[in-house]
Structures are given as structure tokens and as C-alpha cells.
Amino acid sequence: MKHFVLAAAAAVMWLAPHAVQAAPPAPYEPDQALVEAAKKEAKVVWYTSTDVQVSEKMAKAFEAKYPGIDVQVERSGAERVYQRINQEYGSKIYNADVIETSDAVHFLVFKREGILAQALPSDVAKSWPAEAKDPDGFYAAYRAHLSVIGYNTKQVKAEDAPKSHADLLLPKWKNRMVKAHPGYSGTVLTGTAALSKLLGWEYFEKLGQQKVMQVQSSTEPPKKLAQGERSIMADGNEYNLFLLRETGVPIEVVYAQEGSPIAIGHAGLLKNAAHPNAGKLFYAFMYTQEAQQLASDVGGLRSFHPGVKEKEGRVPLSKIKVLFTDPAEVEKQIETIKKKYEEYFGT
């Protein structure tokens, strides 16, 4: 009889999240029990599309705070992370514990497919604005960053630098630009959706005639600028520009007059995580003030945590014209974006 009661209770608990899906779960703060359980699992696997050096630092900070739990960082472009989790889940392989990509569309799909667990770290419950988290507590914004224009200050004088997306179409920038690919980078997919809506596809058609160097990840254009391989980046991550500039690399950010697309990078805890407790612990850690401050300091990422102080010299988000996109709308356009893009840029 006792067993039956336990089983029934278990069944009810298992059913509970499904029954009350509309309501977010109770916020949680890691307690001793969770830490102990996580230490038994000894490992957490994090699929991420944040720059690899930044992610590894986040992992090291977690390992320092909770010794005995290793973080395995699996970094790839947002679309590759998405492709991989789909291939793996299609084959019933549950490697990942926490997943994070820069393409907000993915989290609509993940939630719909039911592969995420509900989890609401107390920091998210307390301080995140409603637009930066899922109302049902399945995911929340770990980071945000802009896709911006940039230039190499050794090769281009500040007064000559482009001020807007329209400026990129000037003949003098032919052969001088680099950009990332929407088929690989979630940031650029979001940015392409935003800009094609604002400026029309003619903008990309003309940009395609500028002999732009095509790289894959949005972390790469800043590095090509730093190398001096190209002088202007047509799109790419703001945070990589920050990081490189702060180590003395001669590059500068341009916030285009038309606006800069923002990519919101959500993270979520997976329902079938191999290390559920370590995953939950890491998931909570990602949103703490210390982690968010670290992401801002070493990662140049924008945070929704009100306690995070931005470094000197970085323009605060409130002073920038930001272009938001509706992920549900982007999802419908993916095929069109990829098709048009290949037509104008060749790949």
C-alpha cells in the first residue's frame, strides 16, 4: 500500500508540470542538497554558441565555485548547435544538460517539442524583464548582444568610416568587407531578418555585389578585422569587437544610424539531461550576478541583470538604436532568408 501511494505521488508529480504548464515553476536558489547531488554527478555538459574563449572562462568560474564538477563546453555556431541537438535527439542521444544559442527561434521550437525542463533561477524570477524570459519558465536570456558594423582604425580613418548600412554600399568598400553567414550564425540570421524588414532585400542584393568575404560564425568578422584581412565588417558580434579593442587591437564599433539588430541568447535546462542536478546548478549559476558580471567583463555581453556594471568605454544599450525581431516571425522566414541569401552572396 505504501508503495502504491509513493508511485501514485510520483505519477502526480510527473504529470504536474504538464497539467499546469501555463504557470511558471517556483523560483529556486541552489541549496546544499542540490550542490551535493551535483557533486555526485561530477560533470555538466553545456552546448553553447558563445565565443569559445568566453565560454571556457565561464566554465572555469563555475568549476572554481563548485570544485569537483567539471564543465564540458561544446561550442559551435548557433545553427550548428541546433542541427546537432536535433540529430542527437532524433537518435535518442542525450548528451547535453544545458543548451544556449544566439537564435531565439530555437527556443520556441525546443519548448514546442517539449525537450526543455521548467526551471526558474531566483535571479531570473526577481530581475529579468518579461521580454527576456519565457512566461512558463522554460528558458531565459543568458545574454544579449548586438550585430554591428565595425572597422579597422589603422586602415580606415574615423571620419571616413561608414555611419550606416547604406554607407556600406559605397563603391569604395568593394573588396574591403567581411560578413558572417545566416545559415551558420543565429546572430546573423536574426540580423538579416531585421535588416531585410527595415531596408528591404535590395539592400542585400546590392551588398552582395560588393565582393564581401564570407565567413561562417559571427565571432569571425571581428577577428578578420583584427588581422587586417578586411577593413570593414558588415555584420558580426559587438562583444568580440569589445574584447579585441580592450586588448589594444585597432578596431572600432559603429552603431548604424538605421539601428543595430539585437540577438537574444536564451539558455534552457534540458528535460533529459544526463546530469540533471549539475545541470540545474549550472543553469542557476549562469544568471547570478557574478556570472553575468563575468560575461560582461570578459565576454563583452549585454546582461539583463540590474546589478551588472558595464566597463568604461562601452556605449550603454539605452543610448543605442536597437532593432528587435519577433522570433515567431523569423521562424516563418528562414527558408526565404537562406534562399535569397544564396542568390545574392553565392553560398
User: From the list 35, 39, 56, 163, which residue makes contact with other proteins (rule: CB under 8 A)?
Assistant: 56
Interface mask toward other proteins for 275-294; x: CB under 8 A: --------------------
Interface mask toward other proteins for 131-170; x: CB under 8 A: ------------------------x---------------
Per-residue b/e over 304-318, b at no fewer than 16 CB within 10 Å? Answer: bbeebebeeebeeee
Interface mask toward other proteins for 92-131; x: CB under 8 A: xx-xx-----------------------------------
Site membership for other proteins, residue 72 (CB under 8 A)? yes
Q: Which pairs with CB-CB distance under 8 Å and at least 24 residues apart come from 26-31? A: 26/120, 27/120, 27/121, 27/122, 27/124, 27/125, 27/126, 28/119, 28/120, 28/121, 28/122, 28/280, 28/284, 29/121, 29/122, 29/284, 30/280, 30/281, 30/284, 30/285
Q: How far is residue 58 from each of residues 28, 157, 298, measured CA to CA in Å?
A: 21, 36, 9
User: From the list 47, 107, 128, 239, which residue makes contact with other proteins (rule: CB under 8 A)?
Assistant: 47
Site membership for other proteins, residue 295 (CB under 8 A)? no
Using CB atoms within 10 Å of the CB of residue 206, give its burial: 0 to 12 exposed, 13 to 18 middle, 19+ buried: middle
CB of 264 to other proteins, least distance (A): 18
CB of 42 to other proteins, least distance (A): 14
239 marked as binding residue: yes
Tell me the residue type at 308. V
Tell me how many residues contact other proteins (CB under 8 A): 62
Residues 177-236 that bind other proteins (CB under 8 A): 181, 183-184, 211-217, 219-220, 223-224, 226-231
Q: Residue 239: left (phi > 0), alpha (psi -120 to 50), or beta? A: alpha
User: For residue 338, what is the enclosing H or E element?
Assistant: helix 327-345
Q: Are 229 and 245 a contacting pair, CB within 8 Å? A: no
Site membership for other proteins, residue 334 (CB under 8 A)? yes
Binding site for other proteins (CB under 8 A): 45, 47, 51-53, 56, 59-60, 70-77, 79-80, 82-84, 86-88, 90-93, 95-96, 155, 175-176, 181, 183-184, 211-217, 219-220, 223-224, 226-231, 249, 334-335, 338, 342-343, 345-347
Annotated binding-site ranges for Fe cation: 239
